[in-house]
Structure 1
Amino acid sequence: MKAIVKPTSHLEGEINALSSKNYTTRYLLIGALANGTSTIYYPAHSEDSDAMRRCVRDLGAIIEEDDEKIVITGFGKNPKHVSELNVGNAGAVLRFLMSTAAFCPEVTFVNTYPESLGKRPHDDLIDTLQQMGVEVQHNNGRLPITIKGGQPRGGKITVSGNVSSQFLSSLLFMTPLLEEDSEIEVLHDLKSKIIVGQTLEVLAQAGIVVHASEDLMHYRIPGGQSYEAKEYVIQGDYPGSAAILAAAAVTNSDVRVLRLEENSKQGEKACVDVLKAMGVDLTHDNGVVHVRGNQHLVAGEFDGDHFTDAVLAMVAAAVFAEGTSRFYNVENLRYKECDRITDYLNELRKAGADVEERQSEIIVHGKPQGVEGGVEINAHFDHRVIMALTVVGLRSEKGLTIRDAHHVAKSYPQYFDHLRSIGAQVELVSES
């Protein structure tokens, strides 16, 4: 599907933020790892969360769902023995479940997206699972990956945090169920620490005890624990909402996004502060972010590691800011569904933006007058790229046509519907 994004000068209206994908996948996993029945209210519906639903059901969880909630009866540390799991293009789901799969005799994670998830490395988690006595067969750290488990061992464990925090989160979900106590030391650096905070928050809600050092580089996890069956409520999603807020910021607008908690542990909440720093007229009260955009933005410098999944949307806003913006500490963007630095910036240049890259930086020389557009660009099968490029298209002189735009459904299936509901001119057409 192609998205034909036409120049749109004015956006106005109110949107309910979609439910958080990150929290939905985590609550589904802890519900599956519990002995008993949990209820999850207002779950996200996206390709990622659907992949977790599908896989935990394959592993033996019983799931019933209506318009408001999911009721899930878990399998504890005794998942059903399955030969294959298909996570689609969901990297977090793959990584979280690789550790859970260590309780199974043999499971192969198949490679259905060779041009996206199939290219992403998972060596760091593979190395750690092997330390725990789990045999792993793999394709140079990539899919397909076969986990030969059954009896994973605790004890002293090391994991690299250089590429992704998801490897650490995966271990934090699994190690409480082991017979032995575990100690996890994070080597090198730890990317996206604030997302690890989400994992620790969810574990605590499920009654799991984890002793974490203040810098989140060392953990002591008592063994022999069990997840409590509970009720959970999913909060609104900041990563997806960041693109809506960026669209409002670069146009003349009066837009309100609801269900965005001020005290959320989502790192992408920082997008509100980034936009404020860019001079956007914005308030955040009682879970409502209200943007009154006037197309006048100023450049700034921002540590992107704090809001990884909102960086591309904020870069899109910076394309139209007065001055030069710098987003630093963002190397982990290179290891997502695509290389979100090189691939994304190449598309921005086609649209007329003036951008530069470093290994771990994105530099944007703003064009307050706008960009020309008028070209067809490649989404690289990446939902975050699609959303951010749409923001640029709305403020371009001639619009943009985005190929493979249906991949936005990975995290935000209603994205284009929500944008059109506040006045964005976007036409969706089938690709010939």
Structure 2
Amino acid sequence: MDMIVTPTGKLNGEIQALSSKNYTTRYLLVSALSEGTSTILYPAHSEDGEAMRRCIRDLGAVVEEDSEKIVITGFGRNPHPTKELDVGNAGAVLRFIMSIAALLPEVNFINAYPESLGKRPHDDLIVALESMGVEIEHTNGRLPMTIKGGNPRGGKIKVSGHVSSQFLSSLLFLTPLLDEDSEIEVLHDLKSKVVIGQTLEVLAQAGIVIEASEDLMHYKIPGKQKYKAQTYTVQGDYPGSAAILAAAAVTESDVVVHRLMEESKQGERAVVDVLRAMNVPLTHENGVVHVKGNGRLTAVEFDGDEFTDGVLAMVAAAVFAEGTSRFYNVENLRYKECDRITDYLAELRKAGARVEEKKDEIIVHGRPEGVEGGVEIDAHYDHRVIMALTVVGLRSAAPIRIKDAHHVAKSYPIYFDHLKALGAKVEWVD
């Protein structure tokens, strides 16, 4: 379905931040890797979460849930044999499960989204797993893929962190279960280090011991560890909330978002700092962000690698800032559900934004007067692009139509419900 976003001058109201997708998927996985029963309180409900639940069920976990919690009885180091796994369009789920699938004789990952996830590369994780004795049949590093494992070896492992930190996270979930101790060396650069911090936090909560170097480029992991069954509480989600906060920033607003911890390890908490630097009137106290927007913003420069999943929303806000904004060190945005630099900026230009790209930068020449809009936009099946383009539509002179906007459900199924509750003029159309 498509979404019509009509210019909206004012937003007002309070919402509860959605629960974190990143933490929910990690808690689901470590619960499945335990041998007891774990409880996850306030889990995120998203397509990514559904994909992880589907995969761990197929691998033998017992998953029971109601409106407030998920109860999981895990399979430990012994996932049940399954011939096929469907991760939907969830790249992180695919990459995390690839390592766990190495414990099985043979698993085929299907390619359900050839135009999105099917285009994303996984070569760096494939190379690392092959060095551990795992045989992988793949299509130029992409889906469809068949993993033939059964007895992966620990020891000295190298993995590139240049494209994504998800490859490293995947190995960190697997290696504690192996018979041998392991050492992981990260080659080249490591993108999204803050997200590795989330992985390490969740592993520690699950009772796993890992020694990480201060720069997060070297790891020592004792083998023969066991994941402990625990109760986990999922915190509010900054990546999804980034778009809500950006929408409040570019309009006349009085918007309150609850459940956003000040001390969260989510790198996207930096979007609050970005908006402050744009001179957006806001406070952040006791887990509550309160924006009293006036629609007037100033340009900024930020290292986008610190808050990867919040960059697109901040770029949308910068479209209306006075001056030229620059978001640098963002090349890894090219390897997401779509090329979040080239593809996203092409759609922004259709709406009237003045933007330019470099290999690892997004440059925005602000238009405080607003943009023309009045166009149909292709969001490339990407939930982050959908949310960010909606922000632009709120300050367009004419409505914009976002094609296939239902893919926002990948991370934030009630995004448009929340916006409508705050007064945004948004309407689903066939």
TM-score (norm 1): 0.99
Return structure 1 stretches of 4+ with deviation > 4 angstroms. Answer: none
User: Aligned ranges for residues 159-170 of structure 1 at < 5 Å?
Assistant: 159-170=159-170
Do structure 1's residue 418 and structure 2's residue 383 form an aligned pair?
no
User: Aligned ranges for residues 18-417 of structure 1 at < 5 Å?
Assistant: 18-417=18-417
Between the aligned partners of 2:233 and 2:50, the Cα distance in structure 1 is 17
Between the aligned partners of 2:404 and 2:288, the Cα distance in structure 1 is 32
Identity %: 77
- Residue 292 of structure 1 aligns to which amino acid in structure 2? K
CA deviation vs aligned residue, 1:399-424 (integer Å, no higher than 9, x gap): 21100100000000000000000000
Between the aligned partners of 1:359 and 1:329, the Cα distance in structure 2 is 9
- Residue 400 of structure 1 aligns to which amino acid in structure 2? I
Between the aligned partners of 1:379 and 1:26, the Cα distance in structure 2 is 27
CA deviation vs aligned residue, 1:333-368 (integer Å, no higher than 9, x gap): 000000000000000000000000000000000000
Q: Which residue of 2 aligns with 1:428?
A: 428
Please give the secondary structure, in 1, of the residue aligned with 2:151.
Answer: coil
Between the aligned partners of 2:240 and 2:67, the Cα distance in structure 1 is 21
Between the aligned partners of 1:189 and 1:181, the Cα distance in structure 2 is 24
Between the aligned partners of 1:166 and 1:308, the Cα distance in structure 2 is 13
Between the aligned partners of 1:237 and 1:303, the Cα distance in structure 2 is 20
Between the aligned partners of 2:429 and 2:401, the Cα distance in structure 1 is 10
Between the aligned partners of 1:19 and 1:77, the Cα distance in structure 2 is 28
- The structural deviation recorded for 1:258 is 0.4
Between the aligned partners of 1:237 and 1:118, the Cα distance in structure 2 is 26
CA deviation vs aligned residue, 1:259-306 (integer Å, no higher than 9, x gap): 001110000000000000000001000110000000110001000000
CA deviation vs aligned residue, 1:305-350 (integer Å, no higher than 9, x gap): 0000000000000000000000000000000000000000000000
- Residue 68 of structure 1 aligns to which amino acid in structure 2? E
Q: Report the RMSD for the aligned CA atoms in angstroms.
A: 0.3
- Residue 182 of structure 2 aligns to which amino acid in structure 1? S
Between the aligned partners of 1:303 and 1:400, the Cα distance in structure 2 is 30
Between the aligned partners of 1:169 and 1:177, the Cα distance in structure 2 is 14
Between the aligned partners of 1:125 and 1:268, the Cα distance in structure 2 is 25
CA deviation vs aligned residue, 1:119-174 (integer Å, no higher than 9, x gap): 00000000000000000000000001111000000000000000000000000000
Please give the secondary structure, in 1, of the residue aligned with 2:373.
Answer: coil
What count of residue pairs does the alignment treat as equivalent? Answer: 430
CA deviation vs aligned residue, 1:57-83 (integer Å, no higher than 9, x gap): 000000110111000000001000000
- Residue 50 of structure 1 aligns to which amino acid in structure 2? E
CA deviation vs aligned residue, 1:157-195 (integer Å, no higher than 9, x gap): 000000000000000000000000000000000000000
Between the aligned partners of 1:357 and 1:67, the Cα distance in structure 2 is 43
Please give the secondary structure, in 2, of the residue aligned with 1:143.
Answer: strand
- Residue 74 of structure 1 aligns to which amino acid in structure 2? G
Please give the secondary structure, in 1, of the residue aligned with 2:29.
Answer: helix
Between the aligned partners of 1:64 and 1:295, the Cα distance in structure 2 is 45
Between the aligned partners of 2:145 and 2:305, the Cα distance in structure 1 is 28
Between the aligned partners of 1:63 and 1:300, the Cα distance in structure 2 is 45
Between the aligned partners of 2:53 and 2:27, the Cα distance in structure 1 is 10
- Which consecutive residues of structure 2, in runs of 5 or more, have no partner in the other structure? none
- The structural deviation recorded for 1:381 is 0.4
Between the aligned partners of 2:363 and 2:399, the Cα distance in structure 1 is 23
Between the aligned partners of 1:229 and 1:393, the Cα distance in structure 2 is 45
Q: Which residue of 2 aligns with 1:3?
A: 3
- Residue 315 of structure 1 aligns to which amino acid in structure 2? V
- Residue 375 of structure 1 aligns to which amino acid in structure 2? V
Between the aligned partners of 1:323 and 1:383, the Cα distance in structure 2 is 28
Between the aligned partners of 2:392 and 2:399, the Cα distance in structure 1 is 8
- Residue 180 of structure 1 aligns to which amino acid in structure 2? E
- Residue 295 of structure 1 aligns to which amino acid in structure 2? G
- Which consecutive residues of structure 1, in runs of 5 or more, have no partner in the other structure? none
Between the aligned partners of 1:298 and 1:22, the Cα distance in structure 2 is 30
Between the aligned partners of 2:300 and 2:231, the Cα distance in structure 1 is 41
